[in-house]
Each structure stands twice: as C-alpha cells, then as structure tokens.
Amino acid sequence: MSGPRPIEAPAPSSIPGVAWGRVTRHGDLRGSFRELWRASAFGTFDPDLAGRPEPAFAQVNLSTSSRDVLRGLHFHRRQLDHWVVVAGRALVALVDVRPLVAGTAERPLVEVREAPADTTVTIPAGVAHGFLALEPLELVYLVTNEFDGSDELGFAWDDPLAAVPWPAAPGTADGRPILSDRDRSNPSLLELVARLRAG
C-alpha cells in the first residue's frame, strides 16, 4: 500500500503545458514537514515544454520578497520553471507568448491566480511569468537550466497588450509595486516578440 501523496494532482490551466498543484503539509505540535518535489510524482519532462533536449532540473533557487514587490514579467526560451510557494501569498501572472511568436494570435493568453503557501505551478518555456508579493513571500523554484544570463528575457510588467490585472500595492506611497532596475527597464511585449521572431 502506498503512503500519502506528497503533491496533489495538477489543477487545470487555460495555458497549454501549465500545471497548478498543492504540496501536502504534515504537521503536529513540533512543526511541519513538506515534500516539495518528487521525481515519480512529477513525471517525465516534455522536451518541447522544457525548451531543451533531455531536460532535468539543473538548479534550485529560493527567492524572498517583501510585500508589494513585483518580479516579472520574465521569459525563458530554454527553461521550464517549477515554483513552490513556501511561505506567504502571491498573485501569479502567466502570459503565453508562444502564439504571438508563431504569428497565430494577436494577443497573448493570460492567466492570473492567487497562490497561497503550498501552491505549486509548473511553467513551460515560452510562458512569461511574474508575481506580486501580497505579503512577505518565500518561493522555491526548480529550473531545467543553470543560470548563465543568456536566456534571461522579459517585458514590461504593465504592458498594455498583456494587460495583467495587477492590483494596487497598498504599502507604497503611489500604489505602484516595488521593482528591480531590470524589471523597470524591460521592453514592451511587442519589442520582445519582434526580437524572438528575428532569432
């Protein structure tokens, strides 16, 4: 007889290749235990979704963000991300850029979900991603490519073509999120698409 499933079955997504799920938390008076990833539960990698042949997780990162921090929108051609919200709550935005690059759509498919602790989301290559920390946030993410900077692309978090419905950041004076220099200077989505089409 098998033990409890460490990760719930993925929830459906409107974006092909995206999978949402939840990690099971086992707790008692001492604290809790969570299994964040298990190869047999995750299944095999689809090279098309990972953007590379023979994909496997190559690096694990931990990101911490204060409330009102927005990270994104980031884009990878050769990397699949698997996110686990360890603590806090985020608003996650996914923007499927693949149909725009292929010329089969004029607008991207956008999906936005609130992600409390223990939420997981698998993000294929070609799907831009970002999040707004709704409260102090810890995010673990497994990726199929070691960081070298060559596949770190992105576009403006408030791009009108993507039209992500970001809420106001209540903890800032102007209601705008806290951004990195990189995210403040990202190009428009159309500029990114033109660059990707050019090769």
- Catalytic status, residue 76: no
What is the Cα–Cα distance from 14 to 154, expressed in whole angstroms? 21
Which of 74, 76, 82, 129 does the annotation list as catalytic? 74
- Catalytic status, residue 141: yes
**Residue 154 parent element (H or E):** strand 153-154
Scanning the structure block, which residue is given the tokens 């699949």?
80
Within 13 Å, how many C-alpha atoms sit on residue 129's CB side? 21
Separation in Å, CA 19 to CA 31, 81, 97, 105, 154? 28, 11, 17, 22, 21
Which residue in 101, 103, 116 sits closest to 155, CA to CA? 101
Output the six-digit token pair for 167.
């809420």
- What amino acid positions are annotated as catalytic residues? 74, 141
